[in-house]
Structure 1
């Protein structure tokens, strides 16, 4: 499904969800207005979910993607409406797989993904025959990426290529690269190809930070004004665009700790308290922040159990400043960010967002009591 007749898109995006619409898609669209983008985006719909199909059909309509930015900036309410026009083509991973493979053989320079919490799970149904020309699409995203990169290696091994995942996984580029290389070895791919994966493809570690709390129908999103895309600096890194919200850094871990241990941990603790106190099913983050029974234990968790760890890591002042702006973000009166949505995959999120703080405390602040974090980790 093409949006319009245009030059081949140098950016291939796996995922159609609201986050990518208000993050990568909007950044590229805004950058293109000043000639600071690589070009347009080819979006790959990865599932047959009806909502995803509706989004893909709306994207293919060529009307652009409405993005509404609402929030508090320096305490002042703001609302900005934009139309993102970065998407040039929509393909379906199953029915258009040969076309996806053809795009990666040629114009693609950056591959972006945000495949959800289960997106990197490998499938036993995937195997070496899927590398053959005309084969069906693999089931898992790492196997799909392996097939595409194998095609690229055969067709244009010298062309630069960056894989830039947006999934909330620490060292996401390195982890995804290890999954793909492991799959290549399991499939007994040629040694020169595996070496190419290890030395030529740029597996970019990145961190995304923007609350995108509401989808518009059939396509579009409501998000906060705040946005950050921090990307680890490395040789031959290609960015999809230049944008004020994109920061290339030599120390990605500093950005990652602030976001993971304050914003994401805060969301998950609110979801934990929402479940514990059996608050209404439709309760939002803002409503929880205005509920003293939920806000007070969250504040104590931040101040007593998280900030001392960040201070021991040399980020105390940064953490206090980040937390100050974070409270305004969580109290955003314009976003309907439901705790029921945050609570999806709750146990997995607790392990990812809470447990590392406890482990860091054991090494850097021995003796620090973390009763709230430890209690949350003990519950299902």
Structure 2
């Protein structure tokens, strides 16, 4: 069988994007979008990928197939297979730091994208300017930006995809801290502020490994699979003038504040997962799809989202309902096999972050969040009767405590919520 690079001719395009991270998410989300922009003829650019951590992993193997890979979109809407050819080459700073710094000299590069995991955007004061490379992503980025500044070239749009709040703001804060720690000068700091746009973003798409039952007419060791739903909110007004996602059918939103969209995702998508999981486990369900097809569980979750969670969000109700409709389709995707056992990990902390805020916001309005409280009771019942996966001491407290004792335990929930006991027992 032919390899993927024998089956297609890769098109050469100017490098316009530096991407920190080579994992399945960026390849199934951002690089797929760039492919669509190129295909539509509204952008003509490629990506150079920086391996942000040691070891090199499968860099050489990826290079053997010319950094080509297949992206399969598969869900209830059908299937679409696409070859993505936007990655020009890869650089590993741990192998060749000079090659990494040389990226700063590429005149047409205007964008830096990253997904270095939630732990990637970190500050380590032991990193020094002389290290080649320093260990953290913000330190590497500072070195690259300083090289760009020294060459008197324009700055970048910087678009982190890491799943932390205020990712752009935090990344900028750490870069500025390194600039000051390393005494790089006020002129460089002014250039950072004036010539670069650090944009906080929110990404949403499920990207997974390639399914075993899907066949290709060529060999591809880096194939990807994703759902059709995708959403990217970016605090970056003006970005479409240079990166026209709006002209390629990509679901990208530019806004002054991504907070309402983060809240929407947390309270609807994550809130639906967290409200269903313990009830589903108590009823013997295995996957999210099972729960969605169970009349009792679906009705319970749907009522919680529509009558409670959506009522607390600072976005038009129609937008939130449209998002919930999309979430339902995603949950019914038979190809995801999203197991309740994995969603149930650390359910107490997840409840506090994803469902409890809805309960408390409605309480301020004088409304009882009946299903939000029922989800809390199902959680407690699962921790008492089932096989929860959480901190052992925490599980013991719930197993051995009365409902009022459990709800009043500040170490579990962050406050005393014993006032909800009667409503939960009703």
TM range, smaller chain? 0.7 to 0.9
Matched residue, 1:138:
134
Contact 2:67/2:88, CA 8 A, preserved across alignment: no
Alpha-carbon shift at residue 201 of structure 1 (Å) = 0.6
Distance 1:261 1:137, change over 3 A: same
Distance in 2 between residues matched to 1:25 and 1:330, nearest whole Å: 24
Distance in 1 between residues matched to 2:123 and 2:373, nearest whole Å: 36
Contact 2:205/2:231, CA 8 A, preserved across alignment: yes
Contact 2:260/2:315, CA 8 A, preserved across alignment: no
Alpha-carbon shift at residue 38 of structure 1 (Å) = 4.5
Q: Does 1:43 align with 2:75?
A: no
Matched residue, 2:69:
65
SS at match of 1:10: strand
Distance in 2 between residues matched to 1:126 and 1:279, nearest whole Å: 50
Alpha-carbon shift at residue 322 of structure 1 (Å) = 1.5
Distance 1:61 1:142, change over 3 A: same
Report the aligned-residue RMSD.
3.5
Deviations 1:297-336 (A, max 9, x none): 54454245412212xx353232122112211111111223
Q: Which runs of 5+ in 2 are unaligned?
A: 212-219, 380-410, 415-426
Matched residue, 1:378:
412
Distance in 1 between residues matched to 2:348 and 2:64, nearest whole Å: 36
Distance in 2 between residues matched to 1:347 and 1:218, nearest whole Å: 39
Q: Which runs of 5+ in 1 are unaligned?
A: 131-135
Distance in 2 between residues matched to 1:300 and 1:43, nearest whole Å: 44
Alpha-carbon shift at residue 30 of structure 1 (Å) = 1.8
Q: Does 1:244 align with 2:249?
A: yes
Distance 1:326 1:112, change over 3 A: same
Alpha-carbon shift at residue 110 of structure 1 (Å) = 0.3
Matched residue, 1:133:
none
Matched residue, 1:325:
326
Distance in 2 between residues matched to 1:66 and 1:249, nearest whole Å: 31
Contact 1:301/1:373, CA 8 A, preserved across alignment: no
Distance 1:180 1:72, change over 3 A: same
Contact 2:237/2:254, CA 8 A, preserved across alignment: no
Distance in 2 between residues matched to 1:350 and 1:187, nearest whole Å: 42
Q: 1:163 aligns with which of 150, 158, 161?
A: 158
Matched residue, 2:105:
105
Distance 1:327 1:141, change over 3 A: same
Distance in 1 between residues matched to 2:26 and 2:149, nearest whole Å: 27
Contact 2:111/2:159, CA 8 A, preserved across alignment: yes
SS at match of 2:79: strand
SS at match of 2:18: strand
Distance in 1 between residues matched to 2:300 and 2:412, nearest whole Å: 17
Q: 2:197 aligns with which of 196, 202, 205?
A: 202
Alpha-carbon shift at residue 186 of structure 1 (Å) = 3.1
Q: 1:260 aligns with which of 262, 266, 284?
A: 266
Alpha-carbon shift at residue 146 of structure 1 (Å) = 1.3
Contact 2:148/2:155, CA 8 A, preserved across alignment: no
Alpha-carbon shift at residue 345 of structure 1 (Å) = 8.2
Larger relative contact order (CA 8 Å, sep ≥ 6): 1
Superposed, 1:287-298 pairs within 5 Å as 287-290=290-293, 295=298, 298=301
TM-score, length-scaled by structure 2 = 0.72
Distance in 2 between residues matched to 1:152 and 1:372, nearest whole Å: 55
Contact 1:68/1:81, CA 8 A, preserved across alignment: yes
Distance 1:238 1:147, change over 3 A: farther
